[in-house]
Every structure is written in structure tokens, then in C-alpha cells.
């Protein structure tokens, strides 16, 4: 996505289309601030998820248990209404000789959440990227979010959470491993 897609002039026109005066004191700097905010909110388009996941073989050669990072913040925007959705993600994997720096899992979630999204696609994108780079035995991702498009318009149901999951590799057929991952992913 071009960073010029959200120019200050575009936001001035948007404010005027609402019936506002973009030159009134409270709005003079708004086009600049909004343009800057959208550049940050869509920074994931400029990131390559594969490059974020530096893998290490040292330390993983005999590790054969799940590695799980919970409560990873998710801040995204729905591609249907451009409304925010936000919540938490849990990402885990069962290594197959390679591990990744733990902060990289947070960076991976951040990369995909900083794009116009639907939660379902974002969940599987995170799982697929981890599977592609690490080639682990299993990958699990659980995302729990509140969607302002549901809370503030349409049905207007505040507080509802949408939970999506992706289970790849051995998490699909192995009920014991799947149960263990979901127990680790559950809020304490």
C-alpha cells in the first residue's frame, strides 16, 4: 500500500465532505495527525513476515515441547468499514530443530494486524508464516478480539468477542497436543 494513499489533502476533503470546516482551529492539524496515524496503522504492508522470523538452531536441538506466547496485543482495522478491532493473540509452536526469538512472534502478529484485515484471514496468515519459516511440527494461533464495527454500528452489541483459531501440523490430528495448546492459550 502506498504511503501516499492517505495524504493530508485527502483528509481535508474528507472533513469538508462531513460538513466540517477543515480550517477551524480544532481541525487545522487533524489532517496531518490522521495521515500520520493511518501510516502507522497500515505499516504491516511494508513488512515482510518471513524476514521478521529469524530462526535459530542452537537451543532447539532437543526441545520437544510447545512454545507459547500469550496476550500479544492486536490492533487492526476491519477492511469492510475501516473500523478498529482489537484484542489479544496467542501464538505457539512445537519446534522441529529450529526456534525463533520470542519477540518475533509479537512482531509477526503486529505485522499482519497492521493491514486492513478480517480476523479470520489474519489468524491463518500468522500461522502459515510461522509454519513456512520454522517448519515446526505444529503451529497454533488463537485470536480474541472486539470489533467496533459490531459495537458502534449495525447490531451495536458492546463487549462481544470473536475468537478465531488456526491449528496446523500435528495440532490437527493429535487431540492431546491440541488440548494442551488450547489449555496454555486459555486466559489464566
**Binding-site residues for Zn(2+):** 78, 81, 149
Active site residue 147: yes
Which member of 20, 47, 81, 151 is catalytic? 81
CA 94 – CA 62 distance, rounded (Å) = 12
Which member of 78, 117, 145, 170 is catalytic? 78
Active site residue 8: no
Which member of 80, 132, 161, 172 is catalytic? 80
Active site residue 61: no
Which member of 61, 79, 120, 161 is catalytic? 79
Which member of 111, 117, 145, 147 is catalytic? 147
Binding-site residue positions: 78, 81, 149
Question: Which DSSP string do the residues of 62-125 spell out, in sequence order?
Answer: T--S-EEEEEEEEEEEETTT--EEEEEEEEEEE-SS-EE-HHHHHHHHHHHHSSEE-HHHHHHH
- Provide the pairing of β-strand 67-78 with 116-117: parallel
Which member of 119, 125, 170, 180 is catalytic? 119
Active site residue 78: yes
Q: Please report how the helices 102-113 and 119-134 are oriented relative to each other, as an axis angle in degrees rounded to 10.
A: 140
Distant-in-sequence, close-in-space partners of 154: CB < 8 Å, separation ≥ 6: none
Catalytic residues: 78-81, 119, 147, 149
Amino acid at each position: 500500500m502506498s504511503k501516499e494513499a492517505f495524504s493530508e489533502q485527502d483528509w481535508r476533503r474528507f472533513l469538508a465532505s462531513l460538513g466540517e470546516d477543515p480550517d477551524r482551529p480544532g481541525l487545522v492539524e487533524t489532517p496531518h495527525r490522521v495521515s500520520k496515524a493511518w501510516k502507522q496503522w497500515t505499516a504491516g504492508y511494508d513488512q515482510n513476515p518471513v524476514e521478521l522470523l529469524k530462526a535459530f538452531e542452537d537451543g532447539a536441538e532437543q526441545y520437544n515441547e510447545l512454545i507459547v506466547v500469550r496476550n500479544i496485543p492486536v490492533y487492526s482495522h476491519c477492511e469492510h468499514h475501516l473500523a478498529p478491532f482489537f484484542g489479544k493473540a496467542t501464538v505457539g509452536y512445537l519446534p522441529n530443530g529450529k526456534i525463533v526469538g520470542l519477540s518475533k512472534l509479537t512482531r509477526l502478529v503486529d505485522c499482519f494486524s497492521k493491514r486492513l484485515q478480517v480476523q479470520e484471514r489474519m489468524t491463518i496468515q500468522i500461522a502459515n508464516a510461522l509454519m513456512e519459516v520454522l517448519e515446526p511440527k505444529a503451529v497454533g494461533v488463537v485470536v480474541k478480539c472486539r470489533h467496533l464495527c459490531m459495537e458502534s454500528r449495525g447490531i451495536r452489541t458492546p463487549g462481544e468477542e470473536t475468537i478465531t483459531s488456526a491449528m496446523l501440523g500435528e495440532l490437527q490430528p493429535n487431540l492431546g497436543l491440541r488440548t494442551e495448546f488450547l489449555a496454555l492459550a486459555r486466559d489464566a
